[in-house]
Structure 1
Amino acid sequence: MRRTARRTARRAAHVLTGTALAVIATAGFTAPAHAAGAGTRAGSLEVYPSTAVPGGTVSVNTAACGEGGAATGDAGAVGAGRFPLAPRAHEGEAIGRFRVPPSAQPGTYEIVAECAAGGRRVTGDLVVVLASDRQPAQPVQPRGSVKTGVGGALGPDPVQTAAGVAALAVAAAGGTWLLHRRARGDGI
């Protein structure tokens, strides 16, 4: 009997956890996104900055060509033409630069690099935006509180706080109901 009660409690805990996670996921909470372009992966072309304005300079690098490998870059899609990627001595990467033409239109463009030895081809994306669309160069210092949907009653948005608390209450009530049903033997 104790074993059955433990098993039931364990299953109920799994159901409650799953219900709570589902509620949190549907409420718009997400895990932090992995920083794009945080380090070069072998076999890829890193474009930095990945978002540029017409007339801006862009750097590209790759480790796909091996230690001391050179490459030829092609930014023809954005109208910049071909450019060299030279090997960097201490990091095993080839690096190059090109200028986004002032006449470039906003959009996403594929930048290509082809290794001199072996002809291996790697690509990366460049997003061109107008200067008015670009985020400010200086980082903005955060102010205020984090809007998570739960928190103190004196939070900046009581409607969001109430919605978050209500969602968690519904999840807890649903899990309790399922636990009670299972304990009675009704099944799920």
Structure 2
Amino acid sequence: MRRTARLLTGTALAVAAAGLATAAPAHAEETAATGALEVSPSSVVPGERATVHTAACGASGAAAGDASAVGAGTFTLAPGGAGGESAGEFEVPPSAQPGTYEIVATCGDSGRRVTGDLVVTLTSAHAQVYPKGSVKTGVGGALGSDPVQTAAGVAALAVAAAGGTWLLHRRARGDGI
């Protein structure tokens, strides 16, 4: 009984593995045939320009681009790029929020739709941005930086500490208050 179960399990696993092995190349060929929309640079800060390329529309096919997801609106991809690619560009608006946005191009002749991702960040790879301002915690800054007030505060704390120590010492001796 166990031998039959092992035989059936092994056969099922072999069939599943063979199915996966034949399905993977078909998917890879399909991806290569449909093409994709390449966004360059793939990560931008608001206000920068992004360029898109695709070979999905063929050497003579123009395409209409749509970057309205990031707030840039529509743009045109013109044919004649390197390797029969169509290319276009758009400016990411200064009001764009950080995140990943889908950029779409629709081929004029075939109506084929290809997409690519654009990542909007607040920091550029070239420049480091440091925080500015102060944190409002409610602690500190009440007396300011006046040295006379600071000395008076330190003196008041010293008198309070000395008085507390004297009272604890009297209580420990049993003199009372």
- TM-score (structure 1 length as normaliser): 0.48
TM-score between both structures, scaled by the size of structure 2? 0.51
Do the aligned residues in 2 keep the contact of 1:41 with 1:62 (CA within 8 Å)? no
Q: Report the secondary structure of 1:91's partner residue.
A: helix
Residue range with higher mean Cα deviation, 80-89 or 50-59: 80-89
Is there any run of 5+ residues in structure 2 with no aligned partner, and where?
Answer: 1-31, 128-177
Q: Which sections of structure 1, spanning at least 5 residues, go unmatched?
A: 1-39, 138-188
AA matched with 2:99: G
The C-alpha deviation readout for 1:95-136, integer Å capped at 9, x for no partner, is 000000000000000000000001000000000001xx3322
In the alignment, residue 92 of structure 2 is paired with which amino acid?
V
Contact (CA 8 Å) 1:58, 1:99: kept in 2 or not?
A: yes
Give the paired residue count. Answer: 96
Query: Contact between 2:81 and 2:87, CA under 8 Å: does it hold in 1?
Result: no
Is 2:125 aligned against 1:135?
Answer: yes
Q: Alignment partner for residue 120 of structure 1, among 112, 115, 121?
A: 112
Residues 12-91 of structure 1 correspond to what in structure 2 (within 5 A)? 43-88=35-80, 90-91=82-83
Q: Is the partner of 2:69 in helix, strand or coil? A: helix
Task: Provide the C-alpha distance between the structure 2 equivalents of 1:129 and 1:49, rounded to a whole number of angstroms.
Answer: 12
Corresponding residue of 1:102: 94
Once residues 33 and 92 of structure 2 are traced to their aligned partners in structure 1, the CA distance between those partners, rounded to angstroms, is 24
Consecutive aligned runs of 4 or more in structure 1 exceeding 6 Å deviation = none
Shift in CA distance, 83/124, structure 1 to aligned 2, threshold 3 Å: same
Q: Distance in 2 between matches of 1:129 and 1:52?
A: 6
Taking the aligned partners of 2:52 and 2:81, their CA distance within structure 1 comes to: 16
Greater helix share, structure number: 2
